[in-house]
Amino acid sequence: MIILIIILCISLINLIVYLTYFRRATVEMHLYPINNSLNFIFSKVSVIIPAYNEADNIRSCVISILKNTTLSADKLEVWVVDDQSTDDTLNILNNLKEELNDSRLKILPGLPRPVEDVWMGKNWACTQGAEQTNGEFLLFLDADVQLKAKAIETAIQLVELEQIDLLNCIPALICECLAEWLVQPLIFINLLVSLNFKVVKDPSTQTTFAAGPFLLFRRSAYEAVGGHRAVANKVAEDVALARLIKHKSLKLQHILGSNLAQIRMYRSWAALWEGWTKVLYSGAQRSVLLMICLALLMLSIYSIPWLVLLIVLGKSLLISWQAIDLFTIGLALIAICLQYNLRTLAAQAFYTSPKYWWLHCLGGLLVAIMAIASVIKTETGWGWTWRGRLLKQPS
């Protein structure tokens, strides 16, 4: 029992520290308010959407962009690059262009990837899109993102006011199936904590993180770091680009953007597994130590309190009650209450809910398994895919 108490106390300390970091992150990365009387002047913004097998998402993504802005064709262009999709993505785009008859929408059937170079993930599609544009600002959106009213205008205003070179916006989180509720809130919470570490925010360090769904560049900054061509062989291109921005002493800023955009990244357990095991390890710069720490942290703050509670309750009911059992149960319940507090704060930050929070024990275990699996899949190449497309190791 003493060992269980020690393990639980470590878990409780980790949870308190983690919760403190998350509270601080939600304050420092606060929502930037929508300004309904925007009157600033800027030149063109080019939105670029790489799309590979995005038949489920692409229509709603494009419509959300065009319908939620008042910017005319001389101020906005939306380039959707079909990255050699094998599903109905390109047909949906062509039909949508004919239906909307909006001159701001441009459809680009992507070319095959150059065989002489290694191009990972969406980098080739993003490069092709960027080369077609002429905007002062480049907004790269994933196809599973939907913008909200005046999102583009508000983001540009923030970039202009704060003289930001790369704005990374964290959208509102949409979860529907059980697998999403178990995994996504935990990963988004960890993302926010990671983005707000002192060393990440320090412009004098090279350590940084970024989330790829919403990246707004000044064109001058994007070109200064070499764009997606410079990170062509990186799976976690968002982190790689953010690192280049810091290396050039350019200004990078992360914000909560739940009032600007929303995202539903994965629609099933299979998609979750494939997606996160693809990028977790690569995003951590292939640090095995970081992945082990992530796995242990997820187990410590989410799984252990519930496991200890079940073990002690089972022992007490089947054998006998002791005073130390009540003490241990009390500690476990305190940790579980802190878990609930963490999820309610996350619900406010990500415009979601604390639904299924009581399944944290399973959620923490799943994220821990995905962290270790990401190491194995990336290093061996076994099962390392994205929507069936093999991800070959950089040479």
The tens digit of pLDDT for each residue in 325-352 reads: 899 999 999 999 999 999 999 999 999 9
CA 299 to chain centre: 21
Supply the range of the domain harboring residue 329.
Answer: 2-25+287-390
Question: Across residues 384-388, what is the average pLDDT?
Answer: 80
191 and 43 co-located in one domain: yes
Whether 277 and 366 have beta carbons less than 8 Å apart is answered as: no
Distance CA 97, CA 90 (A): 11
DSSP of 114-168, one letter per residue? PTTS---TTHHHHHHHHHH---SEEEEE-TTEEE-TTHHHHHHHHHHHHT-SEEE
Q: Which residues pair with 80 in a beta bridge?
A: 49, 107
pLDDT above 60: residue 101:
yes
Looking at 247, 278, 309, the residue that finishes a domain is 278
> Do the domain assignments include residue 9?
yes
> Do the domain assignments include residue 260?
yes
261 and 319 co-located in one domain: no
> Do the domain assignments include residue 83?
yes
CA nearest neighbour of 362 among 181, 127, 109, 135: 181
264 and 313 co-located in one domain: no
Question: Across residues 119-125, what is the average pLDDT?
Answer: 93
Cα 343 to Cα 15, 48, 281, 350: the distances in Å are 12, 33, 25, 10
Whether 273 and 365 have beta carbons less than 8 Å apart is answered as: no
Question: Across residues 185-197, what is the average pLDDT?
Answer: 90
> Do the domain assignments include residue 345?
yes
Query: What's the pLDDT tens digit per position in 351-367?
Result: 999 999 999 999 999 99
269 and 301 co-located in one domain: no
CATH of the domain at 163: 3.90.550.10
Provide the whole-model pTM.
0.92
41 and 73 co-located in one domain: yes
For the chain, the average pLDDT equals: 92
78 and 185 co-located in one domain: yes
Joined together, the tokens standing for residue 65 give: 């962009």
> Do the domain assignments include residue 395?
no
pLDDT more than 70, % of the chain: 97
Task: Compute the radius of gyration of the chain from its Cα atoms.
Answer: 22
176 and 311 co-located in one domain: no
173 and 187 co-located in one domain: yes
Distance CA 49, CA 34 (A): 23
Q: Domain count of the chain?
A: 2
273 and 353 co-located in one domain: no
pLDDT at position 395 is 41
What H or E segment, with its residue span, contains residue 173?
Answer: strand 172-173
Distance CA 83, CA 119 (A): 12
> Do the domain assignments include residue 246?
yes
270 and 199 co-located in one domain: yes
Distance CA 76, CA 105 (A): 9
SS3 387: coil
> Do the domain assignments include residue 46?
yes
Cα 168 to Cα 33, 43, 68, 350: the distances in Å are 16, 20, 19, 15
Interhelix angle 178-195/2-28, rounded to 10 degrees, is: 70
pLDDT more than 90, % of the chain: 79
Q: How confident is the model at residue 394 (pLDDT cuts 50, 70, 90)?
A: very low
Query: What's the pLDDT tens digit per position in 32-63?
Result: 777 666 566 678 999 999 999 999 999 999 99
pLDDT above 70: residue 118:
yes
pLDDT at position 41 is 66
Query: What's the pLDDT tens digit per position in 148-183?
Result: 999 999 999 999 999 999 999 999 999 999 999 999
302 and 164 co-located in one domain: no
Question: Across residues 309-323, what is the average pLDDT?
Answer: 85
Looking at 212, 244, 278, the residue that finishes a domain is 278
Looking at 248, 278, 308, the residue that finishes a domain is 278
> Do the domain assignments include residue 259?
yes
pLDDT above 50: residue 322:
yes
75 and 205 co-located in one domain: yes
